[in-house]
Structure 1
């Protein structure tokens, strides 16, 4: 790792609004040494064109085995044996294994099936707001955004209701590992064990009662040897965690943007036909995925004029790319009518999010339902006092207190 000053990508002020830092970095070039909360140092790519080129660079791999000792000694990766058992999913695979595993998800999330399920998703969204609408105030995270994505996910992947009711949202925190010396280490390990036991129950349930759903097809692939036990558990882990928490955060960041831009909120409320374009703009403006996951060069390499040692982590800032004035006019402004809008909130290249279509559907339904059911919506807190989650890769708020006109 270079001796050059590394920019810290953490802290309450940075998480509240990282865009000033990203602008400074973009102005200096494409690649920058950065430091993460664990102490690990890596290389951050900023700028739209640089991001797209990096995300399609065939020299970069996602498999953690490519990471060097310096990275591994500090990276906040899941401890063993859970790392080997739960971390061999799509995000950490390269072709051809990645291609094979990804096909299960893309087939289950095909556009025709999602469109057929849309009325069911809409009914879920309305039902969640039935209790909140007559009150006139509440926390949108607790009442809606922390619950809606999981209801949708359960339906899409085939998680039976009796198991869906027993899923604990705190299990999603296992993607934010804590170090061996942390006082929270024991609690973290307990969450890992609880989630592993739950995944084992899901597998046993779908094996005993197979159906025509994604979970059942994954279990079938394990039974016939196409997926190992670890790959099966990892894919279910990824679906349960990555399939819902980022969507919760995306609803939250979108609503924060609207609530802090009253003119945009009024515009969308008055003209719901703007929803498709508005959703794309809200994802560009403040994406739930601030950074991509690690990538590695298998040998020392040049990246935009910077020498990157083999096994050092390379991270792309999707947030910085989506606010690049070289690609987007008035990049720091929220424009719900922006078109075209080639944002990369879902990544780019072969690791483009396979759940992008589902995420778009969920966000549109969530926004339309909230604005329709909760009229005259206002933020019930100072924007500067909102608590942003300390996640390394993602953005979102822990609570979102609002007021609105109570309706029957």
Structure 2
């Protein structure tokens, strides 16, 4: 849906929430799905086990006109356990790497890297692209360190991530080739870790799992974390700073009270009007939702961003309030499939904001907010660049 500017929501969201909370929409494939825009409906679907991630069911809507369906229907997604006990076991194994204790231990290293990237950006001179200088390198460095893969291969990771997350740009042959390359790379990495484990997540899964994990699960786990750690937080850093700098009063409020960093990060996550296509779910049985009966086989698209602007859930939902607390936004989803790496994402977002407020108080956009440009075609939303000066 078209929006008036890169940081602003489509006007259609408000109308849909009021008049048509379960709306028929056409996907890039041409197939039809049901779009949800109300907070309560989106939260229910994301938390309800009847709405599954079986997007390769024979009667599910195709997200794209290719066979793969991008990241949602990739070999990686279909290899990992998506439902039930198997999914919960997998989450528990991975989740211990994203605990509050581990994030506290990781934080000094993230701070040091953020400071280094900011110093390098300043040394190169203004204006600069904050997304390219800080937004992308920081999360990539962190996730590479976590997985024990070389940061020097980040150009390859960027290409493979872009291919998986792009719903319209690539042909089926290009998608197949990229996924094959990505799989072969990660299999070689897993094989090397089996021979010589290190202090990283994949080595821990190889040596510490109660039951040996097959290579396919280890490969898919590495791919999933690399894609998620590469694109989502990197794009969110750019959007967060865009939102804070587009209204000078917000940035000056942070400068006056840096203790607002944590609530400012949460509010940026809630206020983000460009998170991407949303979260698809497949309905394996008839369900009533939003006053309508959805038949079996319905594919539902949850717009967490539209839900996060719902006046029924948030007072003054259309305003960015850096002091908002509590803030039960749905940016990381809800229920058993909520974002596994949200503690890491929060740590990275908070660190970037803390470092920039401390080191670059004069930071400002180098263009008018209306000149910022969205990334188009990705399942994950973002800005093409964030030009800044200081």
Is residue 234 from structure 1 mapped to residue 205 from structure 2 by the alignment?
Answer: no
The whole-number CA distance in structure 2 between the counterparts of 1:137 and 1:266 is 20
Partner residue, 1:6: none
The whole-number CA distance in structure 2 between the counterparts of 1:42 and 1:173 is 24
SS for the counterpart of 2:84 is: coil
Partner residue, 1:136: 126
| Deviation (angstroms), 1:254 | 0.5
SS for the counterpart of 2:381 is: coil
8 Å CA contact 1:15–1:395 kept in 2: the answer is no
Partner residue, 1:112: 101
SS for the counterpart of 2:24 is: strand
Structure 2: where are the runs of 5+ without partners?
none
SS for the counterpart of 1:68 is: coil
Count of paired positions: 388
Partner residue, 1:4: none
8 Å CA contact 1:85–1:233 kept in 2: the answer is no
SS for the counterpart of 1:88 is: helix
The whole-number CA distance in structure 2 between the counterparts of 1:355 and 1:139 is 26
Structure 1: where are the runs of 5+ without partners?
1-8
The whole-number CA distance in structure 2 between the counterparts of 1:354 and 1:187 is 29
Partner residue, 1:362: 348
Q: How does 1:5-404 map to 2 (within 5 A)?
A: 9=1, 17-66=8-57, 68=59, 71-72=61-62, 78=68, 85-88=75-78, 93-134=82-123, 135-155=125-145, 157-161=146-150, 164=153, 167-177=156-166, 184-220=171-207, 226-286=212-272, 289-391=275-377, 393-404=379-390
Distance 1:18 1:84, change over 3 A: closer
Let me know the Cα RMSD of the aligned residues.
2.7
SS for the counterpart of 1:397 is: coil
SS for the counterpart of 2:301 is: strand
8 Å CA contact 2:231–2:380 kept in 1: the answer is no
1:193-219 deviations in whole A, cap 9, x for unaligned?
Answer: 332222122212211211342111334
The whole-number CA distance in structure 2 between the counterparts of 1:226 and 1:316 is 35
SS for the counterpart of 1:32 is: strand
1:213-255 deviations in whole A, cap 9, x for unaligned?
Answer: 2111334489x86534433222111111012210011111111
8 Å CA contact 1:78–1:177 kept in 2: the answer is no
The whole-number CA distance in structure 1 between the counterparts of 2:227 and 2:220 is 10
The whole-number CA distance in structure 2 between the counterparts of 1:229 and 1:293 is 28
The whole-number CA distance in structure 2 between the counterparts of 1:239 and 1:60 is 23
8 Å CA contact 1:145–1:251 kept in 2: the answer is yes
SS for the counterpart of 1:314 is: strand
SS for the counterpart of 1:136 is: coil
8 Å CA contact 1:15–1:390 kept in 2: the answer is no
The whole-number CA distance in structure 1 between the counterparts of 2:6 and 2:86 is 34
8 Å CA contact 2:5–2:372 kept in 1: the answer is no
SS for the counterpart of 1:133 is: helix
Give the TM-score, by structure 1 length: 0.86
8 Å CA contact 1:36–1:392 kept in 2: the answer is no
8 Å CA contact 2:93–2:205 kept in 1: the answer is yes
| Deviation (angstroms), 1:18 | 3.3
